A and B are shown apart, each in its own frame.
Chain A
Amino acid sequence: MARTKIVLAGEGGQGVQSIAKILVEAGYEANKEVLYIPNFGVEQRGGVSIAFCQIADERIGEPRYSKGDIVIMLSDRAIDRCETYVDKNSTVVYDTSVCTKKPTCECKEIIGIDANKIANEQLSARVFNIIILGVLLEATHVLELSDIKNAMELALGKKFDAKPELRELNYKALEMGMSLVAQKAGV
Chain B
Amino acid sequence: MVNKLIKEDIKMFLTGNEVLAYAANSAEAEFMYGYPITPQNEIMHTWCKLLPKTEAGFLQTEDEISAGFSTIGGILAGKRAFTATAGPGNVIMQDAQSMAEMMRIPFVCAVMQRGGPSTATVIYAQQETRLTCYGGNGEGFRIVYSTAGHQDLYDYMIKAFNTAWKYKFPTYVLADGYQGKMREPVMLYDPASRGITMVPTEKALLADGEIGVDRKSIHMRNTYNMEEELMEVLDSYQVDYDKMAEEVAEWEEYKADDAEILVIAHGIVARSARTAIDELREKGIKAGLYRPITIRPLAVKPLREAVSRAKHILFTESANGQLAQMVLEKIYGLTTPYSTLFKMGVGVTGDDIVQKVENIVKEGV
Binding site for B on A (CB under 8 A): 21, 24-25, 28, 33-42, 60-67
- B122 adjacent to A35 (CB under 8 Å): no
- A63 adjacent to B271 (CB under 8 Å): yes
Q: In the complex, what's the smallest C-beta–C-beta distance from B290 to chain A, in angstroms?
A: 16
- A24 adjacent to B349 (CB under 8 Å): no
Closest 4 CB pairs of A and B: A61-B275, A62-B272, A64-B347, A66-B351
- B183 adjacent to A40 (CB under 8 Å): no
Question: In the complex, which of the residues A25, A35, A62, A66 has the most CB atoms of chain B within 10 Å of its own CB atom?
Answer: A62
For window 24-56 of B, CB contacts with A under 8 Å fall at 38-39
Name the one of A39, A41, A60, A65 contacting B351, with C-beta atoms under 8 angstroms. A65
Contacts of B205 in A (CB 8 A): none
Interface residues on B, range: 20 to 34
Contacts of B122 in A (CB 8 A): 40-42
- B182 adjacent to A62 (CB under 8 Å): no
**Docked complex Cα distance between A64 and B345 (Å):** 13
Name the one of A21, A63, A66 contacting B268, with C-beta atoms under 8 angstroms. A63
Contacts of B149 in A (CB 8 A): 63
Given A40-B38, A61-B275; A34-B351 close (CB under 8 Å): no
- A67 adjacent to B351 (CB under 8 Å): yes
For window 133-177 of B, CB contacts with A under 8 Å fall at 149, 177
Identify 14 residue pairs between A and B in the complex whose beta-carbon atoms are under 8 Å apart, listed by A's number.
A33-B185, A34-B183, A36-B182, A40-B38, A40-B39, A40-B177, A42-B121, A60-B184, A62-B274, A62-B275, A63-B271, A64-B349, A66-B350, A66-B351
Task: Other than A64-B178, A65-B351, A66-B352, give 4 A-B pairs with Cβ distance below 8 A.
Answer: A28-B185, A61-B278, A62-B272, A66-B350
Q: In the complex, what's the smallest C-beta–C-beta distance from A16 to chain B, in angstroms?
A: 15
Judge if B80 is at the interface, Cβ distance under 8 Å. Answer: no
**Docked complex Cα distance between A63 and B185 (Å):** 13
Q: In the complex, what's the smallest C-beta–C-beta distance from B89 to chain A, in angstroms?
A: 15
**Docked complex Cα distance between A128 and B181 (Å):** 25
Judge if B326 is at the interface, Cβ distance under 8 Å. Answer: no
**Docked complex Cα distance between A35 and B182 (Å):** 7
**Docked complex Cα distance between A41 and B39 (Å):** 10
Question: In the complex, which of the residues A28, A60, A66 has the most CB atoms of chain B within 10 Å of its own CB atom?
Answer: A66
Name the one of B123, B275, B350 contacting A40, with C-beta atoms under 8 angstroms. B123
